[in-house]
Amino acid sequence: MDKGKVYLVGAGPGDPKLITVRGMQCLERCDVVVYDRLASPRLLRHAKPSAELIYVGKLPDRHTMKQEEINQLLVDLALEGKTVTRLKGGDPTIFGRVGEEAELLYDNGIEFEIVPGITSAIAVPAYAGIPVTHRDLASSLSIVTGHESPDKLDRSIHWDKVTNATGTLLFLMGVAKIGYIAEQLIRHGKPASTPVALVRWGTRVEQQTIVGTLATIEEKVKAANFQPPAVIIVGEVVLQREKLRWYERKPLFGVRVLVTRARTQASELSERIEELGGEPCEFPVIDIREPEGEAAIATLREKLSEAESYQWLVFTSVNGVEYFIRWLRQFKLDIRSFGQARIVAVGPKTAEALVGRGLQVEELPVKFHAESLLERVEGWMKQGDRALLPRGDLARDVMPKALRERGVEPVEIDVYDTVLADTRDELAVEWLREKAIHMITFTSSSTVTNLLTVLERNGIEEPAKALAGIPIASIGPITSQTVRDAGLEVSIEAEESTIDSLLAAVARYRMTERASKEDEPI
């Protein structure tokens, strides 16, 4: 059997987007991922579905696997002919013990590659608004391990040289030893008033920062019960934080948002959440598919072939547009056959999808739902008109019913089906159980009902109770009513039924919430 290969990859400081392009390639192609505690669990979603995931992380009070065992594990997996990605937090060469792992691979004749990552020593302070160098404050820096016991620290660190060797001192993994570190720095010449910052889980949604001086920092850490992992920054650059803490000023900083949209549609909402400083947790509970069965296909062909008989084409979603065009292509039908039909759309995104295909929309509703659309075209539609409605199988009957009342014949065709997604995501379920999800977004009624069903399938017996207390953001009144019918409360509702409006409402809610907390007496 041919030997495999091992990629020793730096996963970056925590934000999954801070992994390198090369690191992501290794992750996507490997057969096995061996990962530790500091690598973002969201990165694991980029591994192949067939990839084996092996956790070898270390907690403050215990080791899941000793370093020697990890070294041998990498060898054993490669000898089985597997391609292995060893995913390590930060950069593997900065206190990552990559040298030990690589050396044993070399001794066993196994090919390996070291893929650098962004070290937490630089990235974490940056996300806390602290540049580790500054032209006027610090032109050099030192990175020091703070994880060892005091006697080991004294053997590995020459305090008399390190203390004043550079402008900025960075200690990794030293939270438990912060008092001893501060004491040694003062003893060897650092002023007790020297600024100090500790940044916990930097670049992630859990990021927390404590600022003090060498004289006060130990007391502050104890009072806050500040736990590892954290980066310690010592030096005048810490004072830059007051002006530069860009990440913490984002509206959704500290908020993990459950995104329930279909996987094909979730990326836009997730990216916008990230732009606002939040962390999206994609948990798609619906899938969008073509209808199946000969009868359904035959009905579609028949109704689309009657193109010249329609005075109206009414689209209520982007999916309706995309699948309508897909079926025309599949049946080899020409869009020009609908030339006499006037096109209307519910919502700007639906209109945008039509315009992008060279189809002009004549009218848009103000509220972006069916009732509003009918109000706007009231004077246009005449008795005897036919209106084609390319929709999903779960579309509401409000519009067809209202059209019939106006003497207009609605011709409904299910161009796509909305089905329950087979979502198995242990991470999202675990976060829900631990109340580590801080907000849930619903963009349709089906996402509400399906989430409850999917959670039940994932082992949560009373899903509504599990979601209670988590702020819920709804895209509009119809979705909100479904939320309430499920026994849950709506905290946020978009003014218009669009993603832009939903995110604006979420940002306002969060900023108001943060402002009220800042006003609370200490």
Which of 118, 149, 168 lies at the terminal end of a domain, its last residue?
118
Give the number of domains in the chain: 4
Residue 268's pLDDT is: 85
Neighbours of 134 (CB within 10 A): 16
Give the CA dihedral 425, 474, 443, 441, nearest 10 degrees.
-20
Cβ neighbors of 211 (< 8 A, separation 6 or more) are 195, 196, 197, 238, 241
**Which CATH number covers residue 311?**
3.40.50.10090
Angle subtended by helix axes 499-519 and 263-275, to nearest 10: 40
CATH of the domain at 60: 3.40.1010.10
Task: Examine the domain organization and report whether 133 and 59 are in the same domain.
Answer: no
Whether 36 is catalytic: yes
Whether omega before 229 lies within 30 degrees of 0, making that bond cis, reads yes
pLDDT at 247: 97
Which stretches of 332-412 are DSSP H helices?
348-355, 370-376, 398-405
Residues 488, 469 contacting (CB under 8 angstroms): no
Provide, for the chain, the percentages of residues in helix, strand and coil under a 3-state DSSP scheme, each rounded to the nearest 5. Answer: 40, 20, 40
User: In this structure, is residue 94 part of a structural domain?
Assistant: yes
- Residue 252's pLDDT is 96
- On whether both 41 and 137 belong to a single domain, the answer is no
User: Do 281 and 259 form a contact (C-beta atoms < 8 A)?
Assistant: yes
Q: What is the pTM of this model?
A: 0.82
**Which pLDDT value is given to residue 520?**
44
Residue 291 lies in a domain: no
Low-confidence ranges of the chain (pLDDT < 50): 366, 520-522
Rounded Cα–Cα distance for residues 413 and 522 (Å)? 60
> What domain range includes position 130?
122-244
Task: Judge if 112 and 164 occupy the same domain.
Answer: no
Report the C-alpha gap between 413 and 416 in whole angstroms: 9
The pLDDT value recorded for residue 60 is 52
Residue 521 has what pLDDT? 39
Do 457 and 362 share a domain, yes or no? no
Catalytic residue among 15, 88, 173, 303: 173
Catalytic residue among 3, 24, 58, 250: 58
Whether 425 is catalytic? no
Q: Look at residues 442, 448, 421 and name the one whose alpha carbon lies nearest to residue 497.
A: 442
pLDDT in tens, 193-249: 999 999 999 999 999 999 999 999 999 999 999 999 999 999 999 999 999 999 999
Cα separation, 305 vs 470, whole angstroms: 48
| Residue 29: C-alpha distances to residues 26, 90, 196, 232, 454 (Å) | 5, 20, 42, 35, 29
Q: Which residues are paired to 90 by β-bridges?
A: 12
Assigned domain for 40 exists: yes
